[in-house]
């Protein structure tokens, strides 16, 4: 039996906004979280022990990580090297450098000749001798258009045509690798890609450039005993035969991953008689990743918003979590919330953000007349506004009256011969021409809207 640990998408150095400075180390606590979780994975690989570790790509946020990130990453993977456990480090989109001659942040391990480490930065097949027997791994790093096509070849082609040509080339190149495989030992395809059957996760927000999607049937060939994938942060099993898995990321980068379990997979290959030669089984192993917790509560109808807000916090599991508190309340309730008390209730969290959302009574949805391309007259708009403002009910009639006067319906009240200002406001009487100009401008639809 051969045992393989497959992890992916470490992204060490991401999500600092959810951490705080550790005064003892001077480092962001989220960096320390990522190191701790990676260390947990490496501990498991060594203690098990597994025969091989596969890393599915995306080590850092970009291809030029700060030295302390490189160092922390190297420290963990060198433990595998020292323990004699072979490791394949696949290059993901975040590991590739797009400038000059390119290269990848992980290539340093090959340059230094770190024992037992293979860097997968090209499509290639490796035969790996493990203590439990040999394995074959095809590495398929993140592909961009320039990997498989030159610029002159893509000239004049649409994006769709380019993608089709790329996929044809990938199919061919993969076929070339498959034909060299030794059928008597287990075959693994290790790829960093977006499979077309995958559910998206936070990776779509992290990626700068767009890659292309690979149809699952290109990957799930009968000859493979396991298809180990990286790139998508949400753990998922895409196919049972051959077993095709995204282990997902090991730590949460943002709140979009709040509900996702985080971990790695351990895959076992057991020899069995017959055509398929090996039986593949797997286990998802959860890691103690930092939990994220959203508390959202609507206090608009609450008579004791502070108490209800504190209750909502106490009901949530905020201990050591990254928390975001979102509460909705009416403007007149604002003074009923004591910020200090709320912050004290949140103090058990690892870090927190508070977002107070003021709900105003006049909602646009209550003015259906104001659809796209539709306008209403200023008087109708004012009427609708006043209908929604209970506090102005007593003034509704005088306001409307004054508005009509302004609009010229009742000329004479405001600007007329009497010269008597309404509501005791001193209104300068303009020249007749100016008055017409004002009336004209009010007829403009844009002005009508601005009046709202
Ligand atoms: Mn990726």
Task: Tell me which residue has tokens 């069995």.
Answer: 272
Q: Is 33 within 8 Å of 39 (Cβ atoms)?
A: no
Q: Is 88 within 8 Å of 53 (Cβ atoms)?
A: yes
**For residue 309, how far is its CA from the centre of ligand 1 (angstroms)?**
39
**For residue 186, how far is its CA from the centre of ligand 1 (angstroms)?**
26
Q: Is 106 within 8 Å of 142 (Cβ atoms)?
A: no
**For residue 86, how far is its CA from the centre of ligand 1 (angstroms)?**
23
**For residue 89, how far is its CA from the centre of ligand 1 (angstroms)?**
13
**For residue 48, how far is its CA from the centre of ligand 1 (angstroms)?**
28
- In the chain the domains, ranked by start, together with CATH numbers, are 2-286 (3.60.21.10), 292-358 (no CATH), 364-450 (no CATH)
**For residue 201, how far is its CA from the centre of ligand 1 (angstroms)?**
11
**For residue 193, how far is its CA from the centre of ligand 1 (angstroms)?**
7
Query: Which of 271, 269, 241 is closest to 51 using CA atoms?
Result: 269
**For residue 31, how far is its CA from the centre of ligand 1 (angstroms)?**
19
Q: Is 72 within 8 Å of 39 (Cβ atoms)?
A: no
Q: What are phi and psi of 92, to 5 degrees?
A: -100, 180
**For residue 366, how far is its CA from the centre of ligand 1 (angstroms)?**
44
Helix (H, G, I), strand (E, B) or coil at 227: strand
**For residue 343, how far is its CA from the centre of ligand 1 (angstroms)?**
36
Angstrom distance (rounded) from CA 290 to CA 271: 38
Helix (H, G, I), strand (E, B) or coil at 157: coil
**For residue 204, how far is its CA from the centre of ligand 1 (angstroms)?**
8
pTM attached to this predicted model: 0.76
Angstrom distance (rounded) from CA 444 to CA 440: 7
**For residue 232, how far is its CA from the centre of ligand 1 (angstroms)?**
7
**For residue 318, how far is its CA from the centre of ligand 1 (angstroms)?**
30
Task: Tell me which residue has tokens 């323990």.
Answer: 83
Angstrom distance (rounded) from CA 300 to CA 204: 35
Show pLDDT as tens, one digit a residue, over the chain (452 residues).
999 999 999 999 999 999 999 999 999 999 999 999 999 999 999 999 999 999 999 999 988 899 999 999 999 999 999 999 999 999 998 888 765 456 678 888 888 888 999 999 999 999 999 999 999 999 999 887 666 766 677 777 777 777 788 888 899 999 999 999 988 899 999 999 999 876 665 565 554 445 678 889 999 999 999 999 999 999 999 999 999 999 999 999 999 999 999 999 999 999 988 765 899 999 999 999 999 999 999 999 999 999 999 999 999 999 999 999 999 999 999 999 999 999 999 999 999 999 999 998 655 555 555 656 667 788 888 888 888 888 888 888 889 988 888 887 544 444 434 444 444 344 444 444 444 444 444 444 433 333 33
**For residue 213, how far is its CA from the centre of ligand 1 (angstroms)?**
12
Token pair for residue 269? 């290959």
**For residue 45, how far is its CA from the centre of ligand 1 (angstroms)?**
23
**For residue 144, how far is its CA from the centre of ligand 1 (angstroms)?**
12
**For residue 218, how far is its CA from the centre of ligand 1 (angstroms)?**
19
Angstrom distance (rounded) from CA 73 to CA 65: 10
Angstrom distance (rounded) from CA 339 to CA 201: 34
**For residue 28, how far is its CA from the centre of ligand 1 (angstroms)?**
23
Task: Tell me which residue has tokens 């709900």.
Answer: 359
Helices 29-47 & 67-82, crossing angle to 10 degrees?
10
Task: Tell me which residue has tokens 């599915």.
Answer: 56
**For residue 205, how far is its CA from the centre of ligand 1 (angstroms)?**
10
């Amino acid at each position: 039996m051969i045992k393989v640990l497959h992890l992916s998408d470490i992204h060490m150095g991401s999500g600092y906004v959810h951490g705080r400075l550790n005064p003892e180390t001077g480092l962001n606590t989220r960096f320390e979280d990522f190191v701790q979780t990676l260390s947990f994975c490496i501990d498991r690989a060594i203690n098990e022990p597994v025969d091989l570790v596969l890393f599915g790509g995306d080590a850092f946020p970009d291809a030029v990580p700060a030295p302390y990130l490189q160092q922390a990453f190297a420290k963990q993977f060198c433990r595998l090297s020292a323990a004699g456990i072979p490791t394949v480090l696949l290059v993901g989109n975040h590991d590739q450098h797009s400038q000059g001659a390119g290269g990848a942040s992980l290539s340093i391990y090959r340059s230094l000749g770190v024992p037992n480490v293979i860097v997968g930065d090209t499509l290639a097949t490796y035969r790996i001798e493990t203590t439990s027997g040999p394995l074959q791994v095809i590495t398929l790093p993140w592909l961009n258009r320039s990997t498989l096509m030159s610029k002159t070849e893509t000239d004049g082609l649409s994006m769709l045509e380019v993608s089709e040509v790329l996929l044809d080339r990938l199919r061919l190149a993969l076929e070339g690798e498959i034909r060299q495989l030794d059928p008597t030992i287990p075959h693994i395809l290790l790829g960093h890609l977006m499979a077309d059957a995958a559910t998206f996760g936070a990776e779509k927000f992290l990626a700068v450039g767009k890659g292309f999607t690979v149809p699952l049937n290109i990957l799930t060939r009968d000859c493979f005993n396991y298809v180990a994938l990286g790139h998508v942060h949400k753990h998922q099993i895409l196919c049972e035969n051959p077993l095709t898995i995204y282990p997902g990321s090991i730590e949460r980068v943002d709140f979009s991953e709040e509900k996702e379990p985080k971990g790695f997979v351990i895959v076992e290959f057991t020899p069995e008689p017959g055509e398929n030669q090996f039986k593949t089984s797997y286990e998802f192993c959860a890691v103690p990743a930092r939990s994220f917790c959203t508390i959202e509560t609507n206090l608009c109808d609450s008579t004791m918003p502070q108490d209800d807000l504190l209750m909502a916090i106490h009901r949530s599991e905020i201990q050591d979590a990254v928390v975001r508190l979102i509460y909705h309340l009416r403007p007149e309730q604002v003074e009923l919330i004591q910020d200090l008390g709320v912050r004290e209730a949140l103090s058990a969290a690892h870090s927190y953000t508070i977002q107070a959302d003021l709900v105003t009574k006049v909602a646009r949805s209550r003015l259906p007349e104001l659809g796209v391309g539709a306008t209403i007259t200023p008087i109708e708009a004012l009427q609708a506004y006043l209908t929604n403002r209970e506090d102005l009910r007593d003034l509704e009639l005088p306001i409307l009256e004054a508005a009509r006067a302004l609009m010229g319906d009742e000329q004479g009240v405001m600007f007329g011969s009497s010269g008597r200002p309404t509501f005791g406001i001193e209104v300068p009487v303009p020249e007749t021409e100016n008055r017409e100009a004002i009336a004209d401008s009010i007829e403009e639809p844009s002005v009508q809207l601005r009046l709202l």
